Structure formats: structure tokens, C-alpha cells
A and B are shown apart, each in its own frame.
Chain A
């Protein structure tokens, strides 16, 4: 008790404030600049508001496919030269795709800022999308799917959860998409997708690092200013009926021997307060060795090899997923029962003052670390602006977490975590005999 009293006096985080400047070009491109003079490094990144959820259900995998295609070259960068330019100028680059957005970035020594801006503007202005690129990347993506999912233990776990959790919403498929759809897609379809979504008014440009603000603005205007505004997009909305009866499903994985139990609840958009409350619940249940589920099921009762809970937070809906791998003779049903008991406790009792304070400390540490490197700051700035619609969250989201009460935690658990609102997935070894 002495300890927690001292902590209460300790007060709120004193994390460094992330300073930034933002403005919008005439073509609609939003620009965010963050100056950090501590090291001669600069990040140039573009986040496009296009992800797997913007795809035609008959053409899934497009957004991720573009993550490959848009490295193929531009009118001024020959095919195969992209990576060479980056690395021969001392930089690194990559991209990633989610259901909600696609993110491209380069990190260069600070004397190559202009190069980074030029490359991203080339990609936005006139990427070359031709048959040879499509054909090559089609095969590469298939290998990526085999390597990441089909040849890995538990590699299709999220695929199985998503297809059961969503009926209408495009969240029902994975960003990697359907290989049959990609095979069927024509070059014209890829070109049309590019024209529609990869436009300045559907993107945000972030420049972060050791930069001269005035010079940066000049270059941004020079390289991005002339790019034409694209069509005005209106995000489609997809409504999922609430889950009112437990969904039961089984998935067979030929790469595993130990089954997994997966429970998944549908949760609201990551922009909502409730989604943040669920983040706290997740940490309470399975964050660390002293969390409720780990301590009871793994440590004390030795029923599971591993147990975890995490929020899969997204723009339209989220999922709250709890999973476990049973030990020895314990069954999936045994684990489910133990997990459920703990969930019922959060719904009926208030968590202790001490546990509440622990959550606050954990999130404070997380918040400080979230902005501890430049790449992270750049991506957070883009995400808060583009997906959350409030860039200031980069400095004040922690206050939101601090304002959540114990009562709210109980109410939110009651609202979303009921047995009839979820999927129970038995993720089991394949019964087809694959003898090793």
C-alpha cells in the first residue's frame, strides 16, 4: 500500500512532446513535418487510405499486391532500380499493408531528404504498372503466402478467425487476398485501382528527422505540387449485424500437433473510447506474468503452454481475441472454461485499485516507448491523422487511457464480452495424414 500511495504522488507521464507542423497542398495532399535534430536521419513516408477493405470482393488482395507493384518502377525510375537507388544512397525502405491503409517509407541520411521526396512523388505521380510487373509479383505474392501462412505452424489462424467473424464487411478476408482473384485480374483492373486510390487527396506525407522546415516545404511543393488531384472518394460503410449466438468453427492446420482454442469477440472501431477500455482489459487479462489468465492457467494450474489476449484494432470494427494452447491432457474445453471464469469476474466485480494503478503505469511506459524512435513517430503521426482523424492523439492519447475508470472497465466487459457474442474456434491439427 505504501508503494501505491507513492505512485499516486508520482503523477502523470512527462513524455517528451512530439512537435509537428501540418498543412495541405492544393491537390489535397496532407503534409506533416516533424523536426528532430538529434541524429542526421530523415524519414519520408506516405500513407494511402486504401487497404484490403477497399477491395472488390471478387478481386481481393489488390492493396497488398500494390505494395509489391509500386516498387516496380516509375517513368523516371527503371524497373529494378528502386531498391538500388535507395541502398546506393545509404537508405532503407519498405512498405506494409493492412485492412485499412498502406504505408510506404524510406529512411535516409539527412542529406538525401530531397531524394526521398522525389521517390515518393514519382510513385504517386506516374508509377509504371505493366504486365511484366504484374506477372512477376503475382508469383512472388504466392510464395509470400506459402511462406508466411501455409508452411507455418498456426499460420492461418487469423484467416480462420476473420472469415468467421465478418459476414458483410470486407474484414472477412486477409490482405494477402485470394490467389484465384489475383490470377483473374487484368492489367486494366490494376491500373484503374491505382488511379482511383493512390492520389494526393487520399494520402498523407510525413517528413520526420533532421530537417530544415523551409527547405523541406519548398521541395514538397516542387515534387508533389504538380500531381493532379484524384476523384473524391467516399468510404463505403459495411454494417455487421451484432453476433447474438455463439459461432462455432473448426480449422485444420497440417503444420501443428498441439491444438489451439480461440475466442473472438467483435468490438467497435478503434477510434471509440470503448476500444481503449478493451485495450486495458486485454493487458489486465494477459499482459505479463502477473496477469490474470497467465498466472492462473499457465503458472498455477499448468493447463496451458501459452495463453494470450489481444485487441485487433481497426478503423470500422475490431476484434478482441483470446487464445490458448493446452498442455498435456487438458482439452480445449478445459481452457475455455477457465478463460470464461475470468471474463465473468471482470463483468461482475471491479478490478482492484492496485491492478488499476498497474494498468495505468503499463500504459504510461508503453506511451513513452511508442515515440522513442523516428520511424515510429513518423508512422504514428500518419496513423493518427489519417485513420483516427486527430493528430494530437500522438501527445494526448495517454490522457484518454488515464480517464478510464474501473466502473467503465466493468461496463465495457459486460457490453462486449458475453458468451453469445463470440466465435469459438477450435484450431486443430489436420486429420489428413501427413506423416513425418
Chain B
């Protein structure tokens, strides 16, 4: 016993001594901070130029910023983005290709947007690159050809994000928080983008690309005197103009805290975003208390939110809060992406932490730490040439007092816990917050409902919708026969169907593997004959026939006869309106209501096939079939849509078949009792 305790004692002692040996070092003497100012001059047209000479590396960067007020683009939302992608595609003097080639030949980077331009270059090409940047920005050449190209790319580009939970969550949050008529709330859609014309882009450029509030910042290996004369020559001719001043509705926060839910069935995490709009300018007296409050709530890895949601519960990779500061409307948002299961619990913790910073004074320790962080960053940044330029620009664009950065450390140190709490109460409107959640409804809504916070549902464009159907029982009294009968009624009635002797459908589709569109032909008659063919030009890729003799499939020249069970099944469905027979058959089961492409549909099962009929229109919207292939069970689904009447009978003009990829067939010609002969079924 004794021996053991000695060992323990020694071990303890060693550990103890080691710890004592290695105390946390104290900071050395605080470095002296020098706040430098750029050299500046103003051109007659209003352009302010700031130059920071820095000869450490043989390079230079240019930054032209137009500090225009935000404006709503409305029906032509996207015009600004399009202007951005078109400006700098060459100029009126130099065509696009030689323009881009020269920039890239010099190894430089030049970027243009509707609100400015930027470039970085080796200093030996400094003058030429500035010349090209000025030329591209001030003499843009907007052409129809480039316009069409960029617009087509942007339209296609919209699709790349259409299923992104993050993108949709951000879009809906801004649309709801600011309103869709507000510059920060509106967003680009296919529709608004299609409304934009080349003339709109030209007008946009004409109106807003003006020197009134323009700043040109030059940092690097240049000489002030030399570059000044280059700037005067290049930008002196820029015509003096001001941008139009447009108004838009001010955003309003909600009257009570609510959940705004967007159903994203593909989500594996819920994006949670608590938001209210704020007005907070950098020059406001409570600017520092407000940003410090936001930082303590959710600014870094020791914030209330991070320590709770990540470090304590491990529900998320990170939880953050951020307050916008601007001359214009901005927002306070608290966010995290959490796994589906814990969505409701995370909401509770978010609210708890926001309430905490409103009701409890932050500890002196937390406040001191945050101050140290802000001051530390300032000290590390302040002498870098980029910071010298950025601070000078902020003083201009954010209307700050000239000595804002001289007093920066002093003002941060002066912030008290009381001021932080006041700011939290003023800006973190926990009782007027939207809790926007984009996630998988089926898995997270039941939990959210238990929170007793009102829930409103929105689609991915921020339009109000009904609560999504999660799982639904069939209403009493509805049977498979009733569903089938309703379908028959919906497409024209048994009488009209009885007159149909033959149907001929012609359409086309594209597949990833084929270079050109494929033609689709489907013919059938009421006696049980069927022919389906997919061809590329004159070449048949797949043909399937059912006739009196039997059935066969020809694929890439190989013919295969269908026999046995498969033949019987194929024959049974080789009639125009199978439902007429099914309605009379037994063993057909109505299994429930499911969501098909966002609408409710009855599911009617017949053996290995399930057909779906829209609960409202009665029309067949889909069919799925399970089959065995190479020892694996596979489900093949077909969607039906775009029903149009042909001789009194409704026929789907759009069939989407899922055969490992989507075969989206659009009909161009559907005929009833015309265009079909027995020879078609040989």
C-alpha cells in the first residue's frame, strides 16, 4: 500500500512540476503602431485616387470602387449581374480576344464588374495594365452576341444551385427579411433574367458607372508622381455624372417570432438561420458595443453559440452570429447547419443564447478577451499597405471621422458590459425574429411543431405554400376502383375512350450519350397491338413490338423474343387505356397518398406496378415498376404530364421515363384513329 502511494505521489509531483515549469508566457511590450495615410488626389470629375507605395515586391494592385447606393432591379433583376459579366469583354478600341490575350500574356489578372474593376500585375507592366483596365471599364463594348452568350450561361448557371440547400436558405432568408422589392431581398430567376435586354444593360452601365462616388486605390511598386500623371491621362476624360437615386420599401421585422420553413427533400442537414434586419452604421456611437455583442454571441470559437451547439452538443461544424454594418439596411443573422434529427433542439438553444446576451451582462473576462482580439487584429493589420488603403477608403465611404482609426484602440477599450447589453437589446430582436429553416420536412417538421412556435411554409423562392404532405392516410370511402373510375372520367369518360381504335404518338428526346435529339414513336391499337421505337435519325436504337403472334425487342440490331410471364404482362398493358380493364379486376390495392413532384397522388398497386393518380385532377401522373435485372431489384419510374385533349380524350404530351437516366420525351404529334396500320406492328 505504502509503495503504491509513493509512486502516485512521485507521478503527481512530476506532473505538477512540469506544469509549473511551463506557465503560460506573458505578452511582451506592446508594439508601437504607426497609422499611415495614403497619398491622395481628386480629379475634376469626382474620382478620388489613393496611392500607397510599397516596394517590397515587384507588383502592383489597382482597385476601382464605385460607392453607389443600392437600388432594386425589379422585373429585370439580373441586369446588374449581366452588366458585370459583359463589361471588360474588350473595349470599343480593342476587340475581346486580343484584349484578353494581352492581359493574360502579361501574366496579369484584371476583373471588371458593374461597380468597379480590379487588377494585379507585375510592376514592370503596371502602366499597360492600368491602361487596359481603364479602357475596359470606361469604353465597354456591349454586343448582342456576347449578351446572348452570357445570358445563356447565367440561365444554365442558375440550375447548378437549384438543389443547393445553402443557396436556397440564403435566398429565402433575404427575400423574407428584406422583402422581394428591396435590393437585398430580390433575387435572380429564370423569368427575370429572360426579361433583360441588351438595351437594359447599356442603360444600367450608363446610369451607374459614374465617377461621382468613385475611388481608385493603387498599392505597390509604383512612384506617386509617375502613376498620378498616368491616372490623370486615363481617367480624366471620364464624364462627370451622378447615379439616379431610387427609393424602395424599408424592411419590416415580423411582429412575433416564427419559423419560416422551406422543404428540401434532398437535405441531409437543416440550414437554420435566425434573422432580423437592422440599421447600424460604422459611425454610430454604439457601433463597437454592437459588434462586440455579436462577437460574444457567435463570432468565434469561444462564442455562446459555438460553445453550446458545437463544443457542448456537437450538433454542427460551426454556429455563428454576424451583424451587418452599413449606411443602408443590413441584418443580424445567427446560423448553423445541423443534422436533421436535432433541428428543433438547435432552435431552442439558439433562442436561449440570444436571450442570454440580452438579459445577462457579459463577463468582464469575455469582454476583455474580445477587446484583445479586436485590438490584436488591428495591430497586426494596420501597417500592411492593403490596410492603409482600406482604412482610408472606409473613412470616405462609411462617413467616418478622420481620426476613426487613430481612436480605434481607445474606443474599443472604453466599451462596458452595460453598453454591450444595451446594444444586444437594441439589435438582437429575439421577439421579432424569423427562424428560417431549409431542411427535410418529413424528418424535421414534427419536432419543430412540438416547439409551439408558429410555423409558416415557403417554397424555394420565398412564396407562401401549404404545409408539405409528410405521410397521408387515404380518406375513408375512397377505393382503388373509385380512383381508376375518376381517372377514366378525367381523361374524357368511358364513352369517348370506347371510340379510340388506334393512337399514334410522335415525339423527341435527348440523352447524354447521343449527340443529337432522338425521335420517339409509340403506336397502339385497341386490339392489343403495340409498337414503341426510339431512333437517332434513320437508325433505330430500340424497338419493342407486341402483336397477335407474341412480342419482341430489338436493341442495337439484336432481336429478343419475349416469352412466359413477361409476355403476359406486356400483353395486358398493350392497350391504350388499361384502367378500363383494371377497374373491373380484383386484387388492385389503393396503398395510400404519396407526394409526386410536389403534388398529392393516390398510389394504386397492381402486382409489381404502382400507378399514381393526382388527388385533385384525377389524372395519372406517374407509374413505377419493380423488376429484376442481373439479380438486382430495380424500380423504373415514368412520369406523365402536359395532358392535352385529342378528339375528346386527354393524352399526356410529356412522358419522362427514368431508365438509369432521365428520358424526357416531349410529344409533337398525337393522333387518334389516324396514322396507324397493321404493318406498324410487324
Residues of A with Cβ closer than 8 Å to B?
3-4, 10, 13-16, 38-41, 75-77, 80, 83-85, 87-92, 107-115, 117-118, 121-122, 126, 135-140, 142-144, 146-148, 150-154, 210, 223, 254-259, 287-291, 295, 298-299, 302, 305, 325, 327-329, 331-334, 354, 357-358, 360-366, 368-369, 371-372, 426, 428-431, 433-436
Q: With A88-B373, A89-B376, A361-B107 given, is the CB distance from A333 to B122 under 8 Å?
A: no
B residues near A41, Cβ cutoff 8 Å: 380
Is B549 part of the binding interface, using a Cβ–Cβ cutoff of 8 Å?
A: no
Given contacts A91-B373, A365-B122, A431-B658, 8 further A-B contacts (CB under 8 A): A40-B33, A76-B24, A80-B311, A87-B372, A143-B338, A151-B166, A287-B104, A295-B97
Q: Which residues of A contact B512 (CB under 8 A)?
A: 259, 331-333, 426, 428
Q: How far is the CA of A323 from the CA of B267 in the complex (A)?
A: 25
Tell me the smallest distance from the CB of B45 to a CB of chain A, in Å.
30
| Contact yes or no, B159 A368, CB < 8 A | no
Among residues of B, the one whose C-beta sits closest to the C-beta of A10 is B124
CA distance A226 to B269 in the complex (A): 46
For chain B residues 110-169, which have a beta carbon within 8 Å of chain A?
120-122, 124, 149, 152-153, 156-157, 159-166
Chain B: minimal CB distance from A295 (Å):
8
Please name the residue on chain A nearest to B596 by beta carbon: A435
A142 to B266, CA, bound (A): 17
A289/B100 contact (C-beta < 8 A), A140-B310, A365-B108 known = yes
Q: Is B660 in the interface zone, CB < 8 Å from A?
A: yes
For this complex, 15 residue pairs linking A to B, each with C-beta atoms less than 8 Å apart, are A10-B124, A13-B122, A40-B380, A91-B376, A136-B311, A137-B314, A143-B317, A255-B163, A257-B162, A258-B159, A302-B149, A302-B153, A332-B512, A358-B105, A365-B109
Q: Is B642 an interface residue (CB 8 A)?
A: no
List of 6 A-B pairs having minimum Cβ-Cβ separation, nearest first: A90-B376, A139-B314, A361-B107, A88-B369, A40-B31, A434-B266
Q: How many chain B residues touch A (Cβ–Cβ < 8 Å)?
A: 97
- The reply to whether B376 and A140 contact each other, CB–CB distance below 8 Å, is no
Closest chain-A Cβ to B131's Cβ sits at a distance in Å of: 13
Contact A16 B56 (CB under 8 A): yes
Is B107 a contact of A151 with CB atoms below 8 Å? no
Task: Check if A113 sits within 8 Å of B28, measured CB to CB.
Answer: yes
Q: Are B511 and A331 in contact (CB under 8 A)?
A: yes
Give the residue of B33, B149, B157, B269 whose beta carbon is less than 8 angstroms from that of A147: B269
**With a CB–CB cut-off of 8 A, which chain A residues contact B382?**
39
Q: Known: A107-B380, A255-B163. Contact between A358 and B56, CB under 8 A? A: no
B608-657 interface with A by 8 A CB criterion: 637
Contact code string B283-326 (vs A, CB < 8 Å = 1, else 0):
00000000000000000111000010011011111000000000
Contact present for B58 and A15 (CB under 8 Å):
yes
Chain B: minimal CB distance from A349 (Å): 19
How long is the Cα–Cα vector from A87 to B101 in the complex, in angstroms?
46
Q: Tell me the nearest residue of chain A to B301, going by C-beta.
A: A83
Which residues 497-536 of B sit at the A interface, judged by CB distance below 8 A? 510-515, 517
Decide if B29 is an interface residue (CB 8 Å cutoff): yes
- Verify if B19 is at the interface (C-beta below 8 Å from A): yes
Chain B positions within 8 Å of A126 at CB level: 18
Q: Are B121 and A365 in contact (CB under 8 A)?
A: yes
A256 near B163 with CB under 8 A, answer yes
What CA separation (Å) do A75 and B112 show in the bound complex?
A: 52
Interface hits, B24-79 → A, CB 8 Å: 24-25, 27-33, 56-59
Shortest beta-carbon distance, A324 to chain B, in Å? 12
Are B104 and A118 closer than 8 Å at their CB atoms? Answer: no
Question: How distant is the Cα of A15 from the Cα of B58 in the complex, in angstroms?
Answer: 6
> Would A147 and B30 be within 8 Å (CB), given that A75-B15, A331-B515 are in contact?
no
Q: Is B597 an interface residue (CB 8 A)?
A: yes
Q: A109-B376, A257-B160, A436-B264 are in contact. Are A363 and B107 (CB under 8 A)?
A: yes
Q: With contacts A15-B57, A75-B19, A147-B269 known, is A364 near B107, CB below 8 A?
A: yes
* A290 engages B104 (CB within 8 Å): yes
Interchain CA distance A332-B515 in the complex, whole Å: 9
Chain A residues with CB under 8 A of B56: 16, 38
Within the assembled complex, what's the spacing in Å between the Cα atoms of A126 and B383? Answer: 36
Which of A257, A298, A362 is within 8 Å of B159, CB to CB?
A257
Chain B residues within 8 Å of A109, by CB: 27, 30-31, 376, 379-380
B370, B376, B384, B662: the one within 8 Å of A431 (CB): B662
B265 within 8 A of A: yes
Tell me the B361-416 residues at the A interface (CB within 8 Å). Answer: 368-370, 372-373, 375-377, 379-380, 382-384
B595 within 8 A of A: yes
How many Å from the CB of A397 to the closest CB on chain B? 16
Please determine whether A147 and B266 come into contact, CB atoms closer than 8 angstroms.
Answer: no
Q: How far is the CB of A249 from chain B (nearest CB, A)?
A: 14
Most buried by B among A135, A138, A147, A325: A147
B337 near A90: Cβ-Cβ < 8 Å:
no
A111 touches B28 (CB 8 A): yes
B302 x A87 contact (CB < 8 A): yes
State whether A118 touches B376 (Cβ < 8 A): no
- Please measure, in the bound complex, the distance between the C-alpha atom of A111 and the C-alpha atom of B384, giving whole angstroms: 17
Closest to B58 in A: A14
- How far, in angstroms, from A122 to B18 measured CA to CA in the complex? 11
Across-interface contacts of B369 in A (CB, < 8 A): 84, 87-88
Bound Cα distance from A41 to B302, whole angstroms: 23
Whether the pair A258, B160 counts as a contact (CB closer than 8 A) is yes
* Minimum C-beta distance from A433 to chain B (A): 7
Contact A290:B97 (CB < 8 A) given known A38-B56, A118-B25, A431-B662: yes
Q: Which residue of A lies closest to B165 (CB)?
A: A151
Contacts of B104 in A (CB 8 A): 287-291, 358, 362
- How far is A75 from B22 in the complex, measured between Cα atoms in Å? 10
A366 to B121: give the CA distance in the assembly, Å: 10
CB atoms of B31 and A118 under 8 A apart? no
Q: Which residue of B lies closest to A155 (CB)?
A: B164
Closest chain B residue to A294, Cβ basis = B100
Are B300 and A87 closer than 8 Å at their CB atoms? yes
List chain A residues, Cβ under 8 A from B165. Answer: 151, 255
Closest chain A CB from B315 CB (angstroms): 7
Bound Cα distance from A40 to B638, whole angstroms: 66
> Which residues B216-257 have CB closer than 8 A to chain A?
none
| Contact indicator B164/A142 (Cβ below 8 Å) | no
Which residues of A have CB within 8 Å of B153?
298, 302, 305, 327
Could you tell me if B373 and A90 are in contact, using CB atoms closer than 8 angstroms? Answer: yes
From A92, A122, A372, contact of B57 by CB (8 A): A372
List the A side residues contacting B598 at CB < 8 Å. Answer: 435-436
Asked, given contacts A153-B161, A257-B160, whether A76 binds B19 with beta carbons under 8 Å apart, the answer is yes
Closest to A84 in B: B302
A327/B152 in contact, CB under 8 A: yes
- B405, chain A: closest CB distance, angstroms: 15
Q: Is B661 a contact of A354 with CB atoms below 8 Å?
A: no
Report how far A15 CA is from B30 CA in the complex, Å.
32
**Nearest chain A residue, comparing its CB with the CB of B310:** A140
Q: With A89-B372, A114-B28, A363-B107 given, is the CB distance from A305 to B160 under 8 Å?
A: yes
B106 within 8 A of A: yes
0 or 1 for each of B1-37: is its CB under 8 Å from A? (1 = yes): 0000000000000010011001111011111110000
Q: Would you give the shortest CB distance from A110 to chain B, in whole angstroms?
A: 5
Cβ contact of A111, chosen from B27, B102, B107, B164, cutoff 8 A: B27
Of B15, B19, B163, B302, the contact of A254 (CB 8 Å cutoff)? B163
Query: Is A328 within 8 A of B152, CB to CB?
Result: yes
A331 vs B510: C-alpha distance in the bound complex, in angstroms? 9
CB closest chain-B residue, reference A428: B661
Minimum distance in angstroms from A301 CB to a CB of chain B = 11
- For B595, give its contact among A91, A255, A435 (CB under 8 Å): A435
The answer to whether B160 touches A256, judged by C-beta atoms less than 8 angstroms apart, is yes
- Which single residue of chain A is at the shortest CB-CB distance from B265? A434
Q: A residues within 8 A CB of B376?
A: 87, 89-91, 108-109, 112
B156's partner among A153, A328, A436 (CB-CB below 8 A) is A328
Known: A254-B163, A363-B107. A112 touches B28 (CB 8 A): yes
B268 CB–A CB distance under 8 Å = yes
